[in-house]
Structure 1
Amino acid sequence: MPGWNATNVPDQSGRVAVVTGANSGIGYVTARVLARRGASVVLACRSAARGRAAVVRLRAEVPGAEAEFLPLDLADLSSVREFATACGRRHPALDLLVNNAGVMALPYGRTADGFETQFGVNHLGHFALTGLLLPRLRAAAPGARIVNVSSGFHVLGRIPFGADGPAETGGFGGPGSEHAYRRWVAYGRSKTANLLFTHELARRFTAAGSRITAAAAHPGYAASNLHAGAAAVEGHTLTSRAAALGNSVLAQPTESGALPTLYAATAPGVRQDAFIGPRFGWRGAPAPSWRAGWTLDDTAGERLWAASEQLTGVSYASLPR
């Protein structure tokens, strides 16, 4: 792993990859590198204008690239279903799904389906998308992978489970949850959910003898509009400026921040439930990353899975417990 960079990404010719949130930042860099290495890339983005512009930019930067835009709004489960249908029509087999899109530390809000926004977008939308695309991943040649992009900030929030499942204030956006809402804790819980989902998905793949690998990654501290945007959306001008300054002085470039995702997605020998991040925690070449013990809890993974199936209406019937 030391010194591993984009030039080490294996040839991806003949492979099809979906990258969510690929119109900017780490998602765009991930899509560009995959296209440069020969993959046919689907840029799954909420904004049609930004998604199409990203495809134009990518094709200009990588002449001959196979890249297309398909609309995907993870805050709306009907959009997730429409995307899965459209993608399946174009690509009967899918080799790689990178669940990269996300929102960070937003004020309290709800998705189209009534879930707290961060949990709805960062976890539930991707949970539904993965389940709906699973038949396409199964149809691919051995070696298909699913990479969920989490964060070191998962340490800020574990999911509180009540007697009947996740507590209403645990991110699912039940009645009254806005009164106990703390945006950074909610963000941490959504990132914990990404890791618990990966853990349970990997466990089920192993039990089923599947050749699909489920792994997770995090970018460390990479220059991104997420940090500044989290402050700007609340009108915190000074905080937003501080985040922008941190991006320019302390953060590693977006190209470096994408390397853990690319490693998890393409490097030989990546194991089930691997969590890849920068070597030094916030920057550096890809390496196995520390994770909180609660993200490896089988019981919590099963309970989150069951709740997610119920809330999204997406059942992984072909991947039993």
Structure 2
Amino acid sequence: MGRVPPADPTVPGQTGRTVVVTGANSGIGRAAARVLAARGARVVLAVRDTAKGAEAASTMTGEVGVRRLDLADLASVRTFADDLPGPVDVLINNAGVMIPPLGRTADGFELQFGTNHLGHFALTNLLLPRIRERVVTVASMGHRAGTIDFDDLNWERRRYRAMAAYAQSKLANLLFTAELQRRLIAAGSPIIATAAHPGLAATNLLRPGSVPAPLHGLASAFFRRVGQSDEEGARPTLYAATADVPPGSYAGPGGAFEGRGAPKLVGRSAAALDEAVARRLWVVSEELTGVSFPAGELQRP
């Protein structure tokens, strides 16, 4: 417990740093949190189910706390941000849902867009005045299939397609990271925004009930045959969170097709680099969440 897997590059000491990891009760979030705590960070597991969070914390060495956060409920996001004490050095936006049946958040948003993007958008902006170093958002190779349909972000007019909705939410993660970085630079903030993807990681996003039943067996068999472990899948997140990387960078596995391997900086789709779409998505996200970029409240160097 708390041991960095032998294949993992060295993660620098984290003593004195506070790291918040969303969705850290399982999967790559749990694996990343375990390493950071073992390296000396004070880690906050931001989880929907605090009992599962407590179980996860019990497997970790170091200073680990558990706080409730439901990213599918903006009231919960606000409560978490209001109640979280002290400064935060690193926020890791890791939690997510993947290709579930059509569902809605507490605020009426399509579940994947509402959780994967809007929940983290609101959380990040609410915490920014207390963040000192960086924001890491976990995206996916699936972003390459994504488009942002501003006419129907919530899948109310189109026939719902779970994978297309997932790809939209993951593309939104990268557009958010890029626009956040531009706004931080314009505000003169030292915070940097980075992103990462785990490659092919066999995580519990593919647990029973998380995907439509006809797809679950096939998806699970594929990922468990070719996918990485949670510990391996967490390596790009740890790299984006702790390495000396450029602002706005994107990390992923360095092996063939970015499926597995040691982390490195990777590319993204042309759609993820579209500044006009990123700006529009930011404005729409502010309108949908009621949360804005706190330019005047940011810490300065």
Counterpart in 2 of 1:191?
Answer: 170
Task: Give the structure-2-normalised TM-score.
Answer: 0.92
Structure-1 separation of matches of 2:189 and 2:220: 43
- Structure 2 residue 238 is matched with structure 1 residue 262: yes
- Structure 2 residue 232 is matched with structure 1 residue 277: no
Residues 99 and 212, structure 2, Cα contact 8 Å, conserved in 1: no
The one-letter code sitting in structure 1 at the alignment partner of 2:292 is S
Structure-2 separation of matches of 1:199 and 1:35: 28
Counterpart in 1 of 2:154?
Answer: 172
Counterpart in 2 of 1:251?
Answer: 227
Structure 1 residue 240: Cα displacement? 2.3
Residues 228 and 243, structure 1, Cα contact 8 Å, conserved in 2: no
Residues 16 and 39, structure 1, Cα contact 8 Å, conserved in 2: yes
- Structure 2 residue 34 is matched with structure 1 residue 32: yes
The one-letter code sitting in structure 2 at the alignment partner of 1:145 is R
Q: State how 1:1-321 maps to structure 2 within 5 Å.
A: 6-58=8-60, 62=61, 65-87=62-84, 90=85, 92-137=86-131, 140=132, 144-160=133-149, 166-168=150-152, 171-173=153-155, 176-177=156-157, 179-229=158-208, 233-236=211-214, 239-268=215-244, 270-280=245-255, 281-318=258-295
Structure-2 separation of matches of 1:247 and 1:293: 27
Task: Give the structure-1-normalised TM-score.
Answer: 0.86
Give the gaps of 5 or more residues in structure 1: 161-165
Structure-1 separation of matches of 2:208 and 2:166: 14
The one-letter code sitting in structure 2 at the alignment partner of 1:81 is R
SS at match of 2:88: coil
Deviations 1:136-185 (A, max 9, x none): 11xx3xxx01000000001121103xxxxx212xx335xx33x4221111
Q: Is 179-188 or 112-121 further displaced after alignment?
A: 179-188
> What's the C-alpha RMSD, in Å, of the aligned pairs?
1.8
Deviant stretches of 4+, over 6 Å: none
Structure 1 residue 5: Cα displacement? 5.4
Counterpart in 1 of 2:3?
Answer: none
Deviations 1:248-307 (A, max 9, x none): 321111111100000000012x11110100012111110111210111111111100000
Residues 154 and 189, structure 1, Cα contact 8 Å, conserved in 2: yes
Give the gaps of 5 or more residues in structure 2: 1-5
The one-letter code sitting in structure 1 at the alignment partner of 2:41 is A
Structure 1 residue 75: Cα displacement? 0.4
Total equivalences in the alignment: 291
Structure-2 separation of matches of 1:128 and 1:48: 21
SS at match of 2:252: strand
Identity of paired residues, percent?
51
Structure-1 separation of matches of 2:63 and 2:225: 35
